[in-house]
């Protein structure tokens, strides 16, 4: 990486969804495809950054020339993010991290017992990006995939998680889909990026991230 606005910068991108085991053969997951995160990682690389892509399981091939870290659970994602961010400039937290995981992982495959249903007890996962709130030296970008009250929810996450930027999108319209419309928010400004392919959206979003990162460095 010899040129580009992110030359000399280390960018950590998380992508895909986590899987939270129930027993040796089952998990709780979500519909994240990883497309957006992989496109962001490739674009950050093309802008000159050294990139670490931390990904839950996806059907995608990792982009070339990025450090790729495969994880499965939210707890593995947290450990990988913490390790990668010790020397990072920007964290783009695009992964769909499970908010909850089964309280216990059954050691053997859970069997049916007659006609009875099954109740799973869930516990909360740590907030991976929220835990990095004290890292004021790291420029943090989060995502808010919402099904309702998109901007209100996104603004509250921006605050609560201590982010520099949050990228809101309509979860129903975009998760697992090839196209995405984005709204980028900080405390003051709102930038709307029209619906386009995730590759195009990643390029447009990185332009906004780079501009805000440079402003933030200058303050
Ligand atoms: O609270 P919610 O899951 O909607 O927040 C989404 C943002 O927070 C995303 O950037 C996501 O990657 C991040 N997140 C996280 N740790 C969690 C849940 C979400 O870092 N346990």
Q: Which atom of ligand 1 is nearest to the CA of 74?
A: 21
**Tens digit of each residue's pLDDT (9 = 90 or more) over 164-217:** 999 999 988 888 888 999 999 998 999 999 999 999 999 999 999 999 999 999
Nearest CA to ligand 1 atom 2: 144
pLDDT for residue 1: 52
What's the pLDDT tens digit per position in 65-92?
Answer: 999 999 999 999 999 999 999 999 999 9
Tell me how far apart the alpha carbons of residues 208 and 219 are, in angstroms, rounded to a whole number.
Answer: 17
pLDDT of residue 176: 80
- pLDDT > 90? residue 25: yes
Identify each DSSP E strand in 30-164 by its residue range: 50-55, 67-70, 90-93, 100-102, 122-124, 139-146
Q: Is 93 in the pocket of ligand 1 (CB under 6 A)?
A: yes
Q: Measure the CA–CA gap between 103 and 108, rounded to whole angstroms.
A: 15
Quote the percentage of the chain above a pLDDT of 70: 99
Global pTM reads 0.97
> At CA 79, angle to CA 78 and CA 85, rounded to 5?
85
Ligand 1 centre distance from Cα of residue 130 (Å): 8
Residue 139 annotated as part of some ligand binding site: no
Identify the pLDDT of residue 174.
Answer: 85
The pLDDT, as a whole number, for residue 41 is 98
> Does 125 qualify as catalytic in the annotation?
no
pLDDT band at 21 (very low <50, low <70, confident <90, very high): very high
């Amino acid at each position: 990486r010899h040129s580009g606005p992110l030359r000399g910068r280390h960018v950590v991108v998380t992508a895909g969804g986590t899987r939270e085991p129930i027993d040796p053969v089952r998990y709780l997951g979500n519909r994240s495809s990883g497309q957006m995160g992989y496109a962001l990682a490739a674009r950050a690389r093309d802008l000159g950054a050294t990139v670490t892509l931390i990904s839950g399981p996806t059907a995608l091939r990792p982009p070339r020339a990025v450090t790729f870290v495969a994880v499965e659970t939210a707890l593995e994602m947290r450990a990988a993010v913490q390790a990668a961010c010790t020397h990072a400039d920007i964290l783009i937290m695009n992964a769909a991290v499970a908010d909850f995981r089964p309280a216990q992982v059954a050691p053997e495959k859970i069997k049916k017992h007659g006609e009875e249903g099954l109740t799973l007890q869930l516990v909360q996962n740590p907030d991976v990006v929220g835990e990095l709130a004290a890292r004021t030296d790291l420029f943090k970008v989060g995502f808010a995939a919402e099904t309702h009250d998109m901007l209100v929810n996104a603004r509250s996450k921006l605050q609560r998680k201590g982010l520099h930027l949050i990228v809101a999108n309509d979860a129903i319209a975009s998760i697992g889909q090839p196209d995405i419309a984005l709204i980028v928010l900080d405390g003051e400004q709102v930038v709307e990026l029209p619906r386009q392919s995730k590759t195009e959206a990643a390029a447009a979003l990185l332009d906004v991230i780079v501009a805000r990162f440079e402003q933030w460095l200058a303050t």
